[in-house]
Amino acid sequence: MEKQITDFTVFIEQDEDGIYIAKVPEIEGCYTQGKTLQETLERIKEAIEVCLEAGKNEINPMRFIGIQKIQIERPQFV
């Protein structure tokens, strides 16, 4: 069986408890978390494989452009 290599964009965030959360926006519902960045990267690879094996073959291709921080003023409620 011939294998195909596919690149996926993975978004990684860290929550207030220090847990890393990884999401693959190209595959709906494909996400995981871990205590370390290395653990999270290993788990997201597994999650991608599981999602693809489960028939979530509908991949919504996207091209990663970058990340930009934007500041806005918000009213403060007292």
Q: What are phi and psi of 7, to 5 degrees?
A: -90, 140
Give the global pTM.
Answer: 0.76
Element (H, E) at 56: none
Alpha-carbon span 16 to 64, nearest angstrom: 26
The one-digit pLDDT tens for each residue of the chain (78 residues) are 687 888 899 999 999 999 999 999 999 899 999 999 999 999 999 999 999 888 766 788 888 888 888 999 998 887
pLDDT at site 64:
82
Domain boundaries, the chain: 1-78
Domain 1-78 - what CATH class? alpha beta
